[in-house]
Chains A and B, each alone.
Chain A
């Protein structure tokens, strides 16, 4: 197992390096050059020169590359063109907001998906199953930002129960914080729940048909014990995979939902930086997102070792 974990960690590091490198070259490959793109066609030569020096683009490529990496590892992500602030500071302010939404999203998502998937599979073709399956379809078909707008309309405008604009940091109280992110969190969590639920259902159904489940029945084991002791662990394996991969959905959802609810998170940062052509910021956010994805996948890989004994004790087949 240690070998397995080591392999996955190395792989993760490799991918991060690859991503950083591609982003590095991507910036420099912009048609017309990044400087012109940022400053616009009427930029004066001196403005171009000073920006170039400021960004270190006048140095030889390999020097730039080395500085880029050493800077990154030291935690220096550069400065924003528009405001001159340290990007790391900006991210430190924005990230907790996105993270809050994401956490609520994951909790809501898994909290709905797993029980729903189990109920759906164990009561296949009964009304409960149909309801859950239809709900999952709907969840898959609505973009998170639309769900957000609907929720804002119903709970914010019509019922006036919850705020629909802005974020309250947790420092100002748990309940106000929760109130400010519960709607965005649900909006982000529902499409996620839909996908995870479908996988839970199909995986459980498949597991129940495995020969070892017949063995369990032949032993006279109670059906609830069969489900939870014999089937669940096996059925969860593909579910964990999907739950990890679909963190992408949560991230994407957060980005759009932040706009709906006026929350100044990473998503807002990304969009603004693209519109303003604030490339250093764009770069940094993309790297951050990739890092989250890679980390999430690594976490899933490691989670496997707890769930699947075949990985934990890789014995002979």
Chain B
């Protein structure tokens, strides 16, 4: 098994839109993750999710990967976009729609 950082790099590069979160899209386990899912669903974009609660290595590793201390974290085409606060601001300004439109 490869190290967590390579596994994370593989995931973010293999998926155009991927959200690292607590729980699943259907059953988010944290209010912030729930908010991130609500935004993505609202935009109707296709996305993958990774439940960090199922994998302690990814849970710790994702914080180091992006130098970002919290989950959820959104990645679009391999680039870290931000957490749920930034997602909300970008959603309200229309930037997130634009970014996701280019990913499809």
Question: Is chain B found bound to chain A in the same assembly?
Answer: no
